[in-house]
Amino acid sequence: EVQLVQSGAEVKKPGESLKISCKGSGYIFTSYWIGWVRQMPGKGLEWMGIIQPGDSDTRYSPSFQGQVTISADKSISTAYLQWSSLKASDTAIYYCARGRNTWTEIDFWGQGALVTVSS
Amino acid sequence: QTVVTQEPSFSVSPGGTVTFTCGLSSDSVSASYYPSWFQQTPGQAPRTLIYSTNTRSSGVPDRFSGSILGNKAALTITGAQADDESDYYCVLYMGSGISVFGGGTKLTVL
């Protein structure tokens, strides 16, 4: 059974760092790209970036380039999304999803991880 | 900046047919944009309905179909049911590994 299991909810203060994870199982992790999607409270989905875990080829939305870092550890079938200095505006649910062909064939989503940034 | 456009809202009667569209502010949408469609109910993760214009994801009933209509991608629900009441999002592939979501369409079934 394919699963993408994301790390749990986080509550952080502005300026703190954070790394959240997305662990794949039930399939060959390096056969699919992993993408990250933001959903701010009451808003729509936003494409952040993708990574191919096999060679760590990473692409970012211009809106998120330099704001976050996407990485992966194929040895443990896990992708990551990290911030070096959180802002209140980073408060959102973050989803990972897998897809073939540079994430044009997206077929499975993680359950989402709520990140709350508040002083 | 590329803007992907979707209707903000739609309503449909149970058993009816509804078609949502997904367009571009600066171009016509074709299959080379690999349009995909997702359904999201409140409090839940998105669910993939359609990818690569018209390929249904595993387990998606055939009353959901994708196509290109004119210069836009389209998602059609035939025989709408109460539990189709959700938000629907499209995403388009812009090339170089970059994709962009539309703003979403809220469907009411009444």
pLDDT over 80 (residue B1): no
Q: What is the pLDDT of residues A45-78, one digit of tens each?
A: 999 999 999 999 999 999 999 999 999 999 999 9
User: A68: part of which helix (H) or strand (E)?
Assistant: none
Q: What is the pLDDT of residues A91-108, one digit of tens each?
A: 999 999 999 988 999 999
Pick the more confident residue, B1 or A42.
A42
* Mean pLDDT value of segment B79-108: 97
- A interface residues, B as partner, C-beta within 8 Å: 35, 37, 44-47, 50, 57, 59, 61-62, 95, 97, 99, 101-112
CA closest to B52 among chain A residues = A105
- Cα B21 from Cα B90, distance rounded (Å): 9
Decide if A103 and B46 are in contact by the 8 Å CB cutoff: no
DSSP letters spanning B31-78: GGG--EEEEE-TTS--EEEEETTTEEPTT--TTEEEEEETTEEEEEEE
- From B104's Cα to the closest Cα of chain A, the distance in A is 6
Decide if A44 and B48 are in contact by the 8 Å CB cutoff: no
Decide if A44 and B96 are in contact by the 8 Å CB cutoff: no
Decide if B89 and A45 are in contact by the 8 Å CB cutoff: yes
Q: Are A74 and A62 in contact (CB under 8 A)?
A: no
Tell whether B75 is within 8 A of chain A (Cβ).
no
Identify the pLDDT of residue B26: 87
pLDDT over 80 (residue B79): yes
CB pairs under 8 A between A and B: 71
Facing residue for B46 by CB, picked from A45, A104, A105: A45
CA closest to B87 among chain A residues = A44
CA closest to A57 among chain B residues = B97
CA closest to B106 among chain A residues = A44
pLDDT band, very low/low/confident/very high, at B25 (cuts 50, 70, 90): confident
Please give the angle made by the CA atoms of A93, A108 and A60, to the nearest 5 degrees: 60
Facing residue for A44 by CB, picked from B34, B55, B101: B101
Q: Are B19 and B75 in contact (CB under 8 A)?
A: yes
Facing residue for B89 by CB, picked from A44, A99, A101: A44
**CA B31 from centre of chain:** 14
pLDDT over 90 (residue B2): no
